[in-house]
């Protein structure tokens, strides 16, 4: 069976007692979403939303930068992607900022032995996935030791570093009051409940017709296929809402991309095949003809170790397009990006649904804009929260974690009658399902 926790999160799925994704909004299972008619319907709805999209510019004085956080390149044997490959994908997909999170592996220094600064129009900020965090110190911390979690946080934050709680499902009770923020969506975590898919995958790739269908659907509907597992991570959002009522917690997205979900189907024996993934020392799956009777057709005239098929599920282009942290900053430089994250001037979006650029969640007093997402403003009369999106969807406004208004539109106004921590979501309808598209950071209306 499985040999690696990182492999789609599959082994961890089987061992985990907690599923973080909530399927309450789902109409179809993941396997149903992967059927041709549903992939086609999602694709058509994506095109419709993109065609109806309007350019908006509500927030003045800021640029909307597409940033990718929790991304790996050249940092471990299980990472298949390289930095040049990542850069090329960023340029193709319109990514402006890459905040690397390399695995710590001394003597390699994750700050000095990688890219930093602008490179062909893309800003790189070095960091690490380490000690349960996405860590972005200002300078090298190689060989520095700490005796507690609190000391580690202080070390990373010295001189203006940023640090975010990662993989909330593994550490739901960790405090966030000394952090820059936390992940509010993690692609790897989202996959941890996909037991039905994990049965479907080896069955499909153990059948000659299944392999042809799999490769064709992935070619015809790459983003729809890749995004079929997407859910609303209720446990992540619940913690974010609770902690944000006490202090600012910048919500960010975790792509957790490695370009390592390249499945190689190999001959194991005349009546058995193996499924391998990038960097694995042992096969992820081994299937025999008792489970899949058409395997002999795949192995005919082949020797053990011969390759039957290769399917690349997660090239960087696909992972980068899937979910993005949009950062509202004045300039595309490291200091401006770091400060914007400190101020929670950001929103998370599944960009593959529709380009969200220009999305706004602001607070107005009369005709004057007095704050944007992430800001704290003092409660006063005639205060109004406004949401604007490039295309129409289901806008949901929350106060202290409870929904206070919902409207199917591309804009919403809400008169503020009491202090609280307010945030907005936008959901889009794809193939008859309402799916989360945008998560805005909070506006804190203070007493």
Q: Which residue has the tokens 């899937």?
A: 322
Whether residues 291 and 371 share a domain: the answer is no
Secondary element (H or E) of residue 361: strand 360-365
Residues 89 and 178 in one domain: yes
User: pTM of the prediction?
Assistant: 0.92
Helix/strand/coil for 200: helix
Q: What is the mean pLDDT of residues 15-25?
A: 43
If one compares 281 and 441, the residue with the highest pLDDT of the two is 441
Residue 14 confidence (pLDDT) above 60: no
The span from the CA of 316 to the CA of 101, in Å, is 15
Same domain assignment for residues 157 and 172: yes
- Tell me whether residue 350 is in a domain: no
Residues 245 and 101 placed together within one structural domain of the fold: yes
In a domain, 30, yes or no: no
Tell me the average pLDDT across 290-319.
Answer: 94
Give the pLDDT of residue 46.
Answer: 98
How wide is the angle at C-alpha 278 spanned by C-alphas 316 and 117, nearest 5°?
40
Q: Distance between CA 213 and CA 219 in Å, rounded?
A: 10
Residue 258: left (phi > 0), alpha (psi -120 to 50), or beta?
A: alpha
Instruction: Look at the chain and report how many structural domains it folds into.
Output: 3
Q: CATH number for the domain including 325?
A: 3.20.20.140
| Residues 172 and 109 both lie in one domain | yes
Mean pLDDT of 111-127: 95
pLDDT at 26: 86
Is residue 14 domain-shared with residue 86, that is, in the same domain? no
Indicate whether 11 belongs to any domain: yes
- Say if residue 185 is in the same domain as residue 322: yes
Same domain, yes or no: 139 and 249: yes
Residue 280: pLDDT band (50, 70, 90) is: confident
Is the confidence at residue 175, as pLDDT, over 50?
yes
Residue 424 · residue 380 · CB < 8 Å:
no
Q: What is the DSSP letter of 139?
A: S
Nearest to 124 by CA among 357, 333, 322: 333
Question: For 235, how many CA atoms within 13 A lie in the half-sphere containing its CB?
Answer: 17
pLDDT in tens, 377-398: 999 999 999 999 999 999 999 9
Supply the CATH number for residue 367's domain.
2.60.40.10
pLDDT at 260: 63
CB atoms within 10 A of CB 59: 19
Q: Which residue has the tokens 């109004």?
A: 384
Residues 299-325 have a mean pLDDT of 94
- Which residue range forms the structural domain that includes residue 100? 63-192+229-257+313-344
Tell whether 319 and 301 lie within a shared domain. no
Cα–Cα dist 391/52, whole Å: 6
Shared domain check, 127 and 71:
yes
Which residue from 374, 400, 388 is spatially nearest to 426, judged by alpha carbons? Answer: 388
Give the residue with greater pLDDT, 22 vs 382: 382
List C-alpha distances in Å: 15 to 2, 60, 168, 193, 396.
11, 48, 17, 11, 35
For 393-437, write each residue's pLDDT tens digit. Answer: 999 999 999 999 999 999 999 999 999 999 999 999 999 999 999
Please tell me the distance from the alpha carbon of residue 135 to that of residue 113, in angstroms, as a whole number: 16
Residue 106 lies in a domain: yes
pLDDT tens, residue by residue, 31-53: 999 999 999 999 999 999 999 99
The confidence score (pLDDT) of residue 77 equals: 47
217 and 297, same domain (yes or no): yes
Q: Is residue 249 part of a domain?
A: yes
Residues 319 and 182 in one domain: yes
Asked whether residue 19 is domain-assigned, the answer is yes
Per the domain annotation, does 352 fall within a domain?
A: no
Q: Which residue has the higher pLDDT, 22 or 377?
A: 377
Residue 252 falls inside a structural domain:
yes
Task: Give, in degrees to the nearest 5, the angle at Cα 169 between 180 and 342.
Answer: 10
Q: Given this model, what pLDDT does residue 25 score?
A: 66
Q: How far apart are CA 236 and CA 240, in angstroms?
A: 6
Region 51-61: mean pLDDT is 91
């Amino acid at each position: 069976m499985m040999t690696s926790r990182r492999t789609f999160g599959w082994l961890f799925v089987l061992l985990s007692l907690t599923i973080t994704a909530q399927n309450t909004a789902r109409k179809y299972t993941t396997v149903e979403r992967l059927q041709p008619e549903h992939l086609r319907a999602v694709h058509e709805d994506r095109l419709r939303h993109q065609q109806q999209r309007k350019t908006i510019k509500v927030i003045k004085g800021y640029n909307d930068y597409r940033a990718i956080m929790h991304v790996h390149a050249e940092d471990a044997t299980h990472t298949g992607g390289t930095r040049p490959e990542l850069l090329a994908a960023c340029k193709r997909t319109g990514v402006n900022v890459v905040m690397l999170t390399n695995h710590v592996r001394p003597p390699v220094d994750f700050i000095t032995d990688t890219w930093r600064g602008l490179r062909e129009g893309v800003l790189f900020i070095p960091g690490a996935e380490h000690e349960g965090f996405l860590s972005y110190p200002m300078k090298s911390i190689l060989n520095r030791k700490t005796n507690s979690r609190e000391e580690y946080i202080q070390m990373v934050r010295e001189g203006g570093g940023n640090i975010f709680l990662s993989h909330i499902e593994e550490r739901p009770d960790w405090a966030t009051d000394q952090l820059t923020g936390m992940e509010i969506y993690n692609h790897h975590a989202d996959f941890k409940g996909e037991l039905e898919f994990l049965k479907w995958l080896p069955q499909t790739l153990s059948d000659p017709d299944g392999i042809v269908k799999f490769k064709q659907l992935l070619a015809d509907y790459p983003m729809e296929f890749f995004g079929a597992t997407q859910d609303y991570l209720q446990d992540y959002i619940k913690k974010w809402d609770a902690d944000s009522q006490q202090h600012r917690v910048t919500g960010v997205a975790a792509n957790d991309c490695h370009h390592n979900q390249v499945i190689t189907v190999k001959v194991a024996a005349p009546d058995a095949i193996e499924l391998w993934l990038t960097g694995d020392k042992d096969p992820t799956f081994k299937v025999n003809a008792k489970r899949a009777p058409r395997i002999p057709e795949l192995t005919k005239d082949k020797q053990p170790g011969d390759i039957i098929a290769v399917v690349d599920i997660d090239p960087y282009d696909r992972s980068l397009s899937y979910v993005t942290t949009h950062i509202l900053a004045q300039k595309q430089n490291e200091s401006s990006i770091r400060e914007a994250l400190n101020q929670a001037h950001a929103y998370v979006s599944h960009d593959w649904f529709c380009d969200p650029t220009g999305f706004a969640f602001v607070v107005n007093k009369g005709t004057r804009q007095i704050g944007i997402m992430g800001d704290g403003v003092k409660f006063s009369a005639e205060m109004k929260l406004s949401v604007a999106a490039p295309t129409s969807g289901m806008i949901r406004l929350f106060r202290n974690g409870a929904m206070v208004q919902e409207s199917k539109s591309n804009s919403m106004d809400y008169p503020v009658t009491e202090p609280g921590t307010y945030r907005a979501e936008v959901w889009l309808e794809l193939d008859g399902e309402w799916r989360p598209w945008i998560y805005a950071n909070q506006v804190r209306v203070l007493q």
